[in-house]
Amino acid sequence: MKGIRAKDEYVSVFVNNLPEGMQWRWLKQLFEYHGKVIDVFILNKRNIRGKRFGFVRYANINDANKAINRMGILASKVAYRCQFGKI
């Protein structure tokens, strides 16, 4: 079928140190600037330092890399840390 992609083609970007008030809609809006966002998920759990974290799933690795490279510059100002891994 045209237009349907296998789930393993998507790339997730790990976003750490999210502000308390961050909602998934805002996170999606922030990351859509860099490419086609498929899904956004913010966990209720916290990391070992008590910070919130989540994942932004992109349609392809190029968009994910753009987000990581561009958000890395903003990381010192916005307090986001991005990493990616294929799921």
Tens digits of residue pLDDT in 15-31: 888 888 889 999 999 99
Checking if the pLDDT of 8 tops 80, the result is no
pLDDT for residue 40 is more than 80: yes
Domain boundaries, the chain: 18-79
pTM score of the predicted model:
0.72
Which tens digit of pLDDT belongs to each residue from 59-85?
888 888 888 888 764 443 333 445 444
Residue 81's closest CA among 35, 21, 28, 14? 14
Cα 59 from Cα 20, distance rounded (Å): 27
Q: Token digits for 81?
A: 């840390």
Q: Give, in words, the CATH class of 18-79.
A: alpha beta
The per-residue pLDDT for 72 is: 67
Instruction: Give the angle 53-48-38 at the CA atoms, nearest 5°.
Output: 20
Q: Which two tokens stand for residue 39?
A: 């899904």
| The pLDDT value given to residue 32 | 93
